[in-house]
Amino acid sequence: MDKLTIAGKTFDSRLLVGTGKFTSPQVMADALAATDAEIVTVALRRVDIDDANDDTLSHIDRDRFLLLPNTSGARSAEEAVRLSRLARAATGIDWVKLEVTPDPYYLLPDPIETLKAAETLVKEGFIVLPYINADPILARRLADLGTATVMPLGSPIGSNQGLKTRAALEIIVEQSNVPVVVDAGLGLPSHVAEAMEIGADAVLVNTAIATAADPVEMARAFKLATEAGRMAYESGPRAATRSAEASSPLTGFLGD
Amino acid sequence: MKSLNVNGVERRFSDEEMPATLAELLKQLDTEASVAVAEIDGRIVRPEDFARTELADGQMIELVRFVGGG
Q: What is the residue extent of each domain of chain A? A: 4-234
Q: What is the fold of A4-234? A: TIM Barrel (3.20.20)
Give the pLDDT score at A53: 65
pLDDT of residue A54: 64
Cβ–Cβ contact A158 with B under 8 A: yes
Cβ <8 Å between A44 and B35: no
Separation of alpha carbons A203 and B70, rounded Å: 12
Mutate to test the interface with B, among A72, A86, A107 (most CBs of B within 10 A): A86
Q: Residue range B52-56: average pLDDT? A: 95
User: Block means of pLDDT (10 residues each) for chain A, length 256 residues?
Assistant: 95 97 93 96 91 73 93 97 96 95 94 98 98 98 98 95 97 98 97 98 97 98 98 94 91 86
- What ipTM was reported for this prediction? 0.91
Domain B2-64 classified CATH 3.10.20.30?
yes
Cβ atoms of A139 and A176 closer than 8 Å: yes
| B53 in Cβ contact with A100 (< 8 Å) | no
Q: How confident is the model over B10-33, as a mean pLDDT?
A: 92
CB A89 to CB B46 under 8 A? Answer: yes
The per-residue pLDDT for range A214-223, each reduced to its tens digit, is: 999 999 999 9
Burial of B47 (0-12, 13-18, 19+ CB in 10 A): middle
Question: Which residues of B lie closer than 8 Å to A, measured between beta carbons?
Answer: 6-9, 29-31, 33-37, 39, 44-47, 62-70
Whole-number Å distance between alpha carbons of A187 and A96: 24
Mean pLDDT (whole number) for B35-61: 95
- Whether the per-residue pLDDT at B66 is higher than 70: the answer is yes
Q: What's the half-sphere exposure (Cβ side, CA atoms, 13 Å) at A202?
A: 27
A44/B67 touch (CB, cutoff 8 Å), yes or no: yes
**Chain A residue with the nearest C-alpha to that of B62:** A46
pLDDT recorded at residue A256: 77
pLDDT for position A51:
75
Centroid of chain to Cα A241: 31
